[in-house]
């Protein structure tokens, strides 16, 4: 689950409100509180200082990389497992840093920094987006009776495991019907060859598994992953 800026700022705002509430209660408990006005009781400084502290000194608050449009968009699409409530570089093991099957179409397997942050700082895949609960979803084209439709459904990693999904490069005719006798597909993390009538969804594009930057590399599938990362 991804926690957005709004959620993190909300937590800081709530902490500031608690401090304000405590200060108001202390004021009201004093003897001369009969003829006090609301503006005498409420001091907004704790809230503004909490918000300022979050944007000024939080580990997750950074200046945007505006070297060029590409570095700007990749910086905006970065997700981190570090920071408050997250992992630390020292404690994170290989399992956490490794590529996971649920990253398919959601988190780029190539674009991650080398060194101690490898696998802890990632980039969103090309078509990935967050749903209202903070879970990453990726789009798939609906397949009905071996025919690929124009209906696009966004599926989370949990929902994706229930369906048989074909690859984006599966051969189709001009009507959108799958023409191969056996189609390369996957279900619940297992890759297999199945008949077209069993296919329920299809990838929208071959580039949906990688990030914006990696998708701009020509013939990416012929490059070593380390070389693609350097680009």
Q: Which two tokens stand for residue 211?
A: 């990030």
Q: What is the mean pLDDT of residues 203-226?
A: 91
Of the pLDDT bands very low, low, confident and very high (cuts 50, 70, 90), residue 230 is confident
Q: List pLDDT tens digits, range 75-106.
A: 999 999 998 888 888 988 899 999 999 999 99
Q: What is the mean pLDDT of residues 42-51?
A: 89
Phi, psi of 79 (to 5 degrees): -120, 145
Q: Which two tokens stand for residue 118?
A: 């490898």
| pLDDT of 35 higher than 80 | no
136-204 has which CATH code? 2.30.150.10
Of the pLDDT bands very low, low, confident and very high (cuts 50, 70, 90), residue 41 is confident
CB 126 within 8 A of CB 208: yes
CB 128 within 8 A of CB 107: yes
Torsion, Cα of 51, 10, 4, 98 (10° steps): 90
Of the pLDDT bands very low, low, confident and very high (cuts 50, 70, 90), residue 228 is confident
Q: What is the mean pLDDT of residues 6-29?
A: 89
Of the pLDDT bands very low, low, confident and very high (cuts 50, 70, 90), residue 31 is low
How much of the chain exceeds pLDDT 70, in percent?
A: 98
Q: Are strands 121-123 and 129-130 parallel, antiparallel or unpaired?
A: unpaired
What is the model's pLDDT at position 156? Answer: 94
Residue whose pair of structure tokens reads 């910086």 in the numeric block: 75
Phi, psi of 211 (to 5 degrees): -80, 175
| pLDDT of 30 higher than 80 | no
What is the model's pLDDT at position 1? Answer: 84
The pTM assigned to this predicted structure is 0.83
The crossing angle, in degrees rounded to 10, of helices 5-29 and 45-57 is 150
Closest by CA position to 102, among listed 157, 166, 160, 156: 157
Residue 153: strand pairing partners: 140
Q: What is the mean pLDDT of residues 138-158?
A: 94
CA 82, CA 43: separation in Å to the nearest integer? 33
Q: Which two tokens stand for residue 131?
A: 């749903």
| pLDDT of 176 higher than 80 | yes
| pLDDT of 33 higher than 70 | no
CB 47 within 8 A of CB 20: yes
Alpha helix ranges (H) inside the chain? 5-29, 38-41, 45-57, 69-76, 94-97, 157-160, 212-215, 225-230
41 CB neighbour count, 10 Å cutoff: 15
- The residue extents of the domains of the chain are 5-57, 69-127+210-230, 136-204
Q: Which two tokens stand for residue 170?
A: 């599966």
CA 20, CA 107: separation in Å to the nearest integer? 40
């Amino acid at each position: 689950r991804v926690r957005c800026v709004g959620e993190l700022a909300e937590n800081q705002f709530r902490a500031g409100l608690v401090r304000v509430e405590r200060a108001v209660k202390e004021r009201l408990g004093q003897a001369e509180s009969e003829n006090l006005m609301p503006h005498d009781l409420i001091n907004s400084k704790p809230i503004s200082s909490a918000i300022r502290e979050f944007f000024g000194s939080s580990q997750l608050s950074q200046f945007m990389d505006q070297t060029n449009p590409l570095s700007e968009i990749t910086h905006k699409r970065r997700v981190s497992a570090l920071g408050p409530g997250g992992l630390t570089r020292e404690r994170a093991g290989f399992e956490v840093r490794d590529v996971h099957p649920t990253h398919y179409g959601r988190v780029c397997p190539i674009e991650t920094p080398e060194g101690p942050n490898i696998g802890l700082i990632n980039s969103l895949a090309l078509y990935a987006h967050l749903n209202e609960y903070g879970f990453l979803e990726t789009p798939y084209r609906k397949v009905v009776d071996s025919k690929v439709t124009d209906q696009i459904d966004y599926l989370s990693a949990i929902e994706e495991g229930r369906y048989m999904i074909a690859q984006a490069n599966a051969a189709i005719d001009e009507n959108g019907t799958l023409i191969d006798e056996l189609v390369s597909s996957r279900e619940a993390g297992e890759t297999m060859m199945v008949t077209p009538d069993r296919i329920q969804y299809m990838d929208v594009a071959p580039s949906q598994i990688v990030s914006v930057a990696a998708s701009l590399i020509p013939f990416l599938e012929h490059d070593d992953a380390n070389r693609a990362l350097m680009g």
